[in-house]
Amino acid sequence: MFNSFSQAQSTMVNEAVEAPVEVKRHASIHREQTDTVGEITVANPRMTCRNVDVFYSGSQAIYNVSLDIGKNEVVSMIGPSGCGKSTFLRCLNRMNDTIDGCMVTGAIKIDGQDIYKKSMDVVPLRAQVGMVFQKPNPFPKSLYENVAYGPRIHGIADNKEHLDHIVETSLKRAGLWEEAKDRMDQPGTGLSGGQQQRLCIARAIAVEPEVILMDEPCSALDPIATARIEELIDELRENYTIAIVTHSMQQAARVSQRTAYFHLGKLIEVGETEQIFSQPKHKLTEDYITGRFG
């Protein structure tokens, strides 16, 4: 380990990891070398992460995380603040590249391609793996420009009509079309928080990504707006693979099919959402979801 602090953390987690029973029964034959409880693999993965470590200027933020994200599946990542779930999420489209001193080791593959290999360009990667952020962050431009920006820079649209079509379908898919169609030239920043977030989702899906990463997309929204986003996530699942980080366990329970519980940079437990929230196998997961710490 790298310093005494992380060592202390890791031993603590290791002790806790020894606690659960019946690990073998749930483990698959292809099980990787990991301390995670539950099934990290899925039958048809879109993204596979193996033994991912993340370091920030020497200190380790993520420890040996392996996780698959299946096609047309919503994976939610929960855990107390600072557990590394957002960091892990940002590894999936290399958003961490912008942070100085950030180093990622291990393998993260999308459709079998390693996204961290030298020949991988982040620009097409980010078109492939879109992202929605915690705070709604529309560009201070018109609604149309917001959605059209991605297709435009990637040269997706053949002509103006095509671009209009992309904007329209994206907004429709994001459930914003009815509200937005009469005010396309108004600034995106003038919308309500929930509408802004749906605009951001429309912007993300306008470039036809395969995976959408959502980093606490509802944490700045009221319950009704949250419900609309959740409904939207459920609809989007048909066409996209979604990984969502959330602080709300109820939200994770509602929108996701699989849930991963992170703790101090480690992936403690992964499993079917129903199982995680009714009968978690790991003591830390149990304590977290029942509100006993965190």
Partner 1 sequence: MNSSVNNRHKAQERVRDGLKVRYRAERRFQFYGKLAIGLGLLFLSMLFFSILSKGLPAFQQTYMELEVTFERQYVDPKGDGSEESLAAGDYGGLVKQTLRNRFSDVKNRREKRALYSIVSTGAAFQLRDMVMSNPELVGNTVRVWVPADDELDMLLKGHTTELERHAGSGIASLVSGDGEIKLLSTSNDFTNILQDLKRMLAKSARQSERKLKRLRDNLADAEKSLLQLEEGILKAQSKQPQNAARIRVLEEKLADAKVSIDSYKEKAAQEEMIFSDLQQRADTPGGVERLNSEMPSYLVFVNGGLVKLTSVSNTQATGRALTQLESMHEAQAGEWEILEFETPQTARRLKDNALAWAWDLKQKGQIEKRFNTTFFTAGDSREPELAGIWGAAVGSLYTLVVTLLLSFPIGVAAAVYLEEYAPKNRWTDLIEVNINNLAAVPSIVFGLLGLAVFINFFGLPRSAPLVGGLVLTLMTLPTIIIASRAALKSVPPSIREAALGVGASRIQMMTHHVLPLALPGMLTGTIIGMAQALGETAPLLMIGMVAFIVDIPGGFTDPAAVLPVQIYLWADSPERAFVERTSAAIMVLLSFLIMMNILAVFLRKKFERRW
Partner 2 sequence: MNEMTSGHTVSAYNDELKHINQLVEQLGELGRDQLRRAVLSLREGDTKAAGQVIDRDRDLNDLDVQADEAVIHLIAKRQPMGKDLRDILTVQKVVSELERVGDEARKVANLTIHFYDQDKNPPNGQMLLDIYKMADFVDCMLHKSLEAFKQLDLKKSLDVIKEDDNLYEEYRAALRRLSTYVMEDSRNVGCMVDVTLTLRALERIGGHAKNIAGHVIYLVTARDVRHESLATIRAEVLAADPN
Regarding 177 and contact with partner 1 (CB under 8 A), the answer is no
Alpha-carbon span 85 to 82, nearest angstrom: 8
Out of 56, 116, 149, 177, which residue is the one contacting partner 1 (CB under 8 A)? Answer: 149
280 contact, one of partner 2, partner 1, none, CB 5-8 Å limit per kind? partner 2
From start to end of the chain, where are the E strands? 45-56, 59-70, 74-78, 102-110, 113-114, 129-132, 211-215, 241-245, 258-263, 266-272
Alpha-carbon span 36 to 39, nearest angstrom: 8
149 contact, one of partner 1, partner 2, none, CB 5-8 Å limit per kind? partner 1
Site residue total, partner 1 (CB under 8 A): 29
Out of 137, 142, 239, 275, which residue is the one contacting partner 1 (CB under 8 A)? Answer: 137
Task: Report residue 6 as tokens.
Answer: 């992380």
Order of all β-strands in the sheet with 241-245: 113-114, 102-110, 45-56, 59-70, 266-272, 258-263, 74-78, 241-245, 211-215, 129-132
Out of 61, 207, 221, 267, which residue is the one contacting partner 1 (CB under 8 A)? Answer: 207
Closest to partner 2 by CB, 228 vs 281, is 281
Regarding 200 and contact with partner 1 (CB under 8 A), the answer is yes
Regarding 82 and contact with partner 1 (CB under 8 A), the answer is no
Question: Which range binds partner 1 by CB under 8 A, 38-46, 120-128, 233-241, 285-293?
Answer: 120-128
Alpha-carbon span 202 to 146, nearest angstrom: 9
Which stretches of the chain bind partner 2, using CB under 8 A?
A: 21-22, 249-250, 253, 277-280, 285-287, 289-294
Q: Integer distance in angstroms from the first to the last C-alpha of the chain?
A: 25
CA-wise closest residue to 52 among 85, 11, 75, 7: 85
Residue position matching structure tokens 């609604």? 143
Regarding 131 and contact with partner 1 (CB under 8 A), the answer is yes
Q: Are 202 and 174 in contact (CB under 8 A)?
A: yes
Closest to partner 1 by CB, 17 vs 213, is 213
Regarding 126 and contact with partner 1 (CB under 8 A), the answer is yes
- Give residues 48-67 in contact with partner 1 (rule: CB under 8 A): none
131 contact, one of partner 2, partner 1, none, CB 5-8 Å limit per kind? partner 1
C-alpha dist (Å) from residue 116 to 54, 95, 107, 230: 12, 12, 7, 31
Residue position matching structure tokens 């992309």? 166
Closest to partner 2 by CB, 20 vs 175, is 20
293 contact, one of partner 2, partner 1, none, CB 5-8 Å limit per kind? partner 2
Closest to partner 2 by CB, 36 vs 285, is 285
Contact positions vs partner 1 (CB under 8 A): 93, 95, 98, 100, 123-127, 130-133, 135, 137-140, 149-150, 153-154, 187, 189, 200, 203-204, 206-207
